[in-house]
Structure 1
Amino acid sequence: MLKNRLISLRKQKGLSQYEAADRLGFSRGKLSNYEQGTRQPDYGTLEVIADFYDVSIDYLLGRSANRKSPKDDTYDSMEKINDLLRKYNIDQSGFFDIEKWKNLGPEEIKQLESYFQFVVQEAEKHNSKKQQED
Structure 2
Amino acid sequence: MLTTRLKAARKSARLTQEGLAKRVNTTKATISNYENGHSTPSNDMLLALADALDVSTDYLLGRTDNPQSINYNKNDSKDYPSWGDEAEFEAWVNDPSVYKLYKEMKESSEERKKALLAVWEVLKTQGK
What is the CA distance between 1:77 and its match in structure 2?
9.2
Aligned-pair CA distance for 1:25: 0.8
Contact 2:3–2:35 under 8 Å retained in 1: yes
Higher helix fraction: Structure 1 or Structure 2?
1
Cα deviation for residue 106 of structure 1 reads 6.2
Q: TM-score, with normalisation over the residues of structure 2?
A: 0.56
Question: Does the residue aligned with 1:18 lie in a helix, a strand or coil?
Answer: helix
1:26-65 superposed matches below 5 A: 26-65=26-65
- Greater Cα radius of gyration, structure 1 or 2: 1
Q: Aligned residue pairs: how many?
A: 81
Seen in structure 2, the aligned counterparts of structure 1 residues 38 and 69 have a Cα distance that, compared at 3 Å, is: same
Contact 1:21/1:27, CA 8 A, preserved across alignment: yes
Residue 9 of structure 1 aligns with which residue?
9
Residue in 2 aligned with 1:93?
none
Q: Which residue of 2 aligns with 1:66?
A: 66
Task: Return the alpha-carbon distance in structure 2 between the equivalents of residues 18 and 105 of structure 1.
Answer: 39
TM-score normalized by the length of structure 1: 0.54
Moved over 6 A (4+): none
Partner residue, 1:18: 18
- 1:33 Cα deviation from its structure 2 partner: 0.3
- 1:55-101: per-residue Cα shift (whole Å, max 9, x none)? 11110011111112241xx3x599xxxxxxxxxxxxxxxxxxxxxxx
Look up the match of 2:78.
104
* Structure 2: gaps (5+ residues): 82-128
For 1:66, give the aligned amino acid.
Answer: N
Identity %: 37
Q: Following the alignment from structure 1 to structure 2, what is the Cα–Cα distance between the partners of residues 43 and 22?
A: 18
Which sections of structure 1, spanning at least 5 residues, go unmatched?
79-101, 108-134
How far is 1:103 from its partner? 2.4
